Amino acid sequence: MDPSWSSLKDEDLLALRICDLGVRLETSDLKPRVDQVYEELAARGVSLRPDSYLGDEWFSPEGVPAIAIPFYLAHPRLKTLELHQMLEVEGGTAEWCQMLLRHECGHAIDHAYRLSSRQDWPTIFGSPDLEYSPETYTPRPYSKSFVRHLPNWYAQSHPDEDFAETFAVWLSAPPDDWRERYRGWKAIEKLEYVDALMREVSGNPPLVRRGRRISEAKNLRTTLARYYTTRRKLYAEDFPDFYDADLRAIFGNDEPGSEPAVKLMQRHRGALIASIVQWTGQRKYTVSMLVRKLMLRCRELNLTAPRDTARLHFELSSYLASLVTNHLYTGRFKRSV
Ligand SMILES: [Zn+2]
């Protein structure tokens, strides 16, 4: 039976408080996803089943063996709202959801057995006391010292994330598979370490059994409208403001009879954003806000599109991809899971 709010229009739905939605993990499409992770744990001989619950985003509460899953994944109407508000749904497909669950499961297992406090742990992953800022890091894209699981070489963001990513790969496939896939990579040492570690601890009772469910959806009194205002603010990155010279180099100024640059960008906006997102791994909302900003600037500068549009398309997409990637390397890159 669908809740009464499922037929509301976005603007009316946004007025509701998250705690009043009454969404439950057990009766949602997330249940089989969580069960699959539990089955994978069983298949690897791990007896612990981390607590899982609906929260306000993807995370595992610090020091608690639990997995928080964003509440909007628990109902198709909320997924549609998320798509309208944020332009994409993180973990919205079964496969994507499974990858994020395995990653958070890695944190939860770390918390349960306090793995990152072990003496040998830093020699493999680095010191977990490193300043925690996985949103700002400088990945080395071709490094073979890290597994590849979530996009943006996320394993390189922090030792704790490196562990969670390595754990996710270890959990997702039998050892023969990852040994084959990572043959000759330095990352295999991390996978072998996790394999040995899990064999050692998996039969033991966890050191931490439970803890507080931080930001549980049923306790969130904020309205959906406020929730989205906050997240949109967070995702709208502060890209630096010096595009004018670049834009002038890409476009032209007032060639008689030529199309305004903003019109051309408007026409190709969807394809442009899709390809930047595909190849940079950046959030769609972030890229979309950047494109919007550049379009405004093109209008203010009265830029026009040169006649050789094929070249222009290549230049524009290369430029945007490099803006996003440089920003990813040097700026505040707001992704954390
Ligand atoms: Zn993480």
Model pLDDT, residue 328: 65
Instruction: Give the chain's radius of gyration (CA, Å).
Output: 23
Residue 104 contacts residue 168 (beta carbons within 8 Å): no
- Distance from the alpha carbon of residue 269 to the mean position of ligand 1, in angstroms: 32
pLDDT tens for each residue of 10-53:
999 999 999 999 999 999 999 999 999 999 999 999 999 999 99
- Distance from the alpha carbon of residue 156 to the mean position of ligand 1, in angstroms: 11
- Distance from the alpha carbon of residue 111 to the mean position of ligand 1, in angstroms: 12
- Distance from the alpha carbon of residue 161 to the mean position of ligand 1, in angstroms: 5
- Distance from the alpha carbon of residue 2 to the mean position of ligand 1, in angstroms: 33
- Distance from the alpha carbon of residue 159 to the mean position of ligand 1, in angstroms: 10
Residue 265 contacts residue 247 (beta carbons within 8 Å): no
Amino acid identity of residue 60, one-letter, is S
Distance CA 100, CA 87 (A): 19
- Distance from the alpha carbon of residue 7 to the mean position of ligand 1, in angstroms: 34
- Distance from the alpha carbon of residue 62 to the mean position of ligand 1, in angstroms: 11
- Distance from the alpha carbon of residue 37 to the mean position of ligand 1, in angstroms: 16
- Distance from the alpha carbon of residue 42 to the mean position of ligand 1, in angstroms: 22
- Distance from the alpha carbon of residue 99 to the mean position of ligand 1, in angstroms: 11
Token reading at 114: 């306090």
Residue 58: CA count within 13 A, CB half-sphere: 22
pLDDT of residue 332 exceeding 50, the answer is: no
Taking alpha carbons only, the member of 80, 88, 70 closest to residue 5 is 80
- Distance from the alpha carbon of residue 160 to the mean position of ligand 1, in angstroms: 7
How large a percentage of the chain has pLDDT more than 90?
62
Q: What is the mean pLDDT of the chain?
A: 90
**pTM: predicted TM-score of the whole model, two decimal places:** 0.85
- For residues 30 and 145, the model is more confident at 30
pLDDT tens for each residue of 62-83:
999 999 999 999 999 999 999 9
- For residues 154 and 99, the model is more confident at 99
- Distance from the alpha carbon of residue 90 to the mean position of ligand 1, in angstroms: 14
- Distance from the alpha carbon of residue 100 to the mean position of ligand 1, in angstroms: 9
Token reading at 327: 């920003």
- 3-state SS of the chain is CCCHHHHCCHHHHCCCEHHHCCCCCCCCCHHHHHHHHHHHHHHCCCCCCCEEEEECCCECCCCCCEEEEEHHHHCHHHHHHHHHHHCCCCCCCHHHHHHHHHHHHHHHHHHHHCHHHCCCHHHHHCCCCCCCCCCCCCCCCCCCCCCCCCCCCHHHHCHHHHHHHHHHHHHHCCHHHHHHHCCCCCHHHHHHHHHHHHHHHCCCCCCCCCCCCCCCHHHCCCEHHHHHHHHHHHHCCCCCCCCHHHHHHHCEECCCCCCEHHHHHHHHHHHHHHHHHHHHCCCHHHHHHHHHHHHHHHHHCCEECCCCHHHHHHHHHHHHHHHHHHHHHHCCCCCCC
Distance CA 59, CA 69 (A): 7
Model pLDDT, residue 334: 41
Give Cα 115 to chain centroid, integer Å. Answer: 24
Identify the sign of the CA torsion 116, 119, 125, 127. Answer: positive
Which residues neighbour 279 within 8 Å (Cβ) at sequence distance 6 or greater? Answer: 321
- Distance from the alpha carbon of residue 227 to the mean position of ligand 1, in angstroms: 21
pLDDT of residue 159 exceeding 80, the answer is: yes
